[in-house]
Amino acid sequence: MRPIRLGMVGGGNDAFIGGVHRIAARIDGRFQLVAGALSSTPEKAQASGAALGLDPARTYDDFKAMAIREARLKDGIEAVAIVTPNHVHYAAAREFLKRGIHVICDKPLTSTMADARKLVKAAEESDALFVLTHNYTGYPLMRQARQMVAEGRLGKIRVVQVEYAQDWLSKADDSKQAAWRTDPERSGIGGSTGDIGTHAFNLASFVTGLTLESLSADLQAFVSGRALDDNAHVMMRFAGGARGMLWCSQVAPGNENGLRLRVFGEKAGLEWAQENPNQLWFSELGQPKQLLTRGGAGSTSDAARVTRIPGGHPEGYLEGFATIYREAAEAIEAHRDGHKVADDVIYPTVQDGLKGMQFVDACVRSSKRDGAWVTLA
């Protein structure tokens, strides 16, 4: 099986998430990076491409030019990873989608609702696939949690507690990473809600299968002069009666990347924390708590499918991310062969991206209306 030819937009030398995507694409050997518009600055684009060993002829400083030329090449890219700041997602994705090149795009989907809706349309009109890298859904134990909920092992879900806490924006920070995330022009209207709240919301939805009907939010920008929220408190009401809370923060000292999910049903509860992703607590009412491990006793089929190494040998963030790429590869190869992709292949779609945008939009609308309950739309 030859690797899928991959291009990349964004992800030049000093970017964080671009490097993550490249490792994720390599881990299972299903992709080969062959082209890139790694920066819109020509010198930087060339230098970044050279550092990655790309053919200079396939090193671009303009994503549209890349889309046009690669689409014409006999061995042009089959898929592109878009890892730019949010405001570029739509414009870049459109160019590739309309030329039949599959898109693997970082989250959140876009920087504006208008762009989000246009991107949905572009994806729907294209024969190419659109994969959103809500990478935390790639952790085997999150697949397992989802399956356990779906199989009814928790009973009807009552309460969802999800949080994503960091501390790296506790002070005013003008690093490159911080700058665009706190700039409405490039990030959109959500600060912590967009950058990490969308992950939390997506993961809770993924595991529980619940549809969020309405929310009440209280957003804050604690750091003086910051234009976007850096902390958010959200109450949630799901279809069917479940309720939840979501907290996201980038000003919580002592938290590096504290994504934590707890789900409680009539019969049992689940607890998981991203920083030690190889453990999942499962508590049935009236029974001792069980510590399930990735690859250990009690593993479910959905977890086993995306597990690479035995229990006790920790998989981490990069493997979870790589699972999104692996699932994308499954789908792209099925597409290439004209087959239907297998039912157990799971990846976040443009619709998930739209829901994330609606979540951010609802948080901001609710908070402006002093926490009034608003529906997602």
Q: Measure the CA–CA gap between 202 and 194, rounded to whole angstroms.
A: 11
Q: Select from 48, 293, 307, 358 the one that contacts a second copy (CB under 8 A).
A: 293
Q: Select from 254, 339, 340, 343 the one that contacts a second copy (CB under 8 A).
A: 254
Q: Select from 283, 333, 335, 345 the one that contacts a second copy (CB under 8 A).
A: 283
CA distances from 369 to 219, 361, 366 (A): 11, 12, 5
152 binds a second copy (CB under 8 A): no
Quote the least distance from Cβ 285 to a second copy, whole Å.
Answer: 5
237 binds a second copy (CB under 8 A): yes
Q: Measure the CA–CA gap between 334 and 73, rounded to whole angstroms.
A: 22
180 binds a second copy (CB under 8 A): no
Please count the residues of this chain forming the interface with a second copy, following the rule CB under 8 A: 89
- The structure tokens listed for 330 are 């499954």
3-state DSSP assignment of residue 316: coil
Cβ closest to a second copy, residue 185 vs residue 256: 256
367 binds a second copy (CB under 8 A): no
Residue of 220, 217, 254 whose CA lies nearest to 236: 217
Q: What string marks each residue from 5 to 34 as x (binds a second copy by CB under 8 A) or -?
A: -----------x--xx-xx--xxxx-----
8 Å CB contact between 208 and 145: no
Cβ closest to a second copy, residue 121 vs residue 289: 289
Q: Select from 91, 296, 349, 365 the one that contacts a second copy (CB under 8 A).
A: 296
Residue of 11, 31, 9, 32 whose CA lies nearest to 20: 11
8 Å CB contact between 207 and 145: yes
Quote the least distance from Cβ 245 to a second copy, whole Å.
Answer: 5
369 binds a second copy (CB under 8 A): no
198 binds a second copy (CB under 8 A): no
Region 156-175 residues binding a second copy, contact defined as CB under 8 A: 158-159, 161, 163, 166-167, 170-171
- The structure tokens listed for 187 are 């990030």
8 Å CB contact between 131 and 331: yes
Cβ closest to a second copy, residue 288 vs residue 338: 288
75 binds a second copy (CB under 8 A): no
Residue of 175, 161, 218 whose CA lies nearest to 371: 218
Region 297-356 residues binding a second copy, contact defined as CB under 8 A: 297-298, 308-319
Angle at 335 between CA 329 and CA 336, to 5 degrees: 90
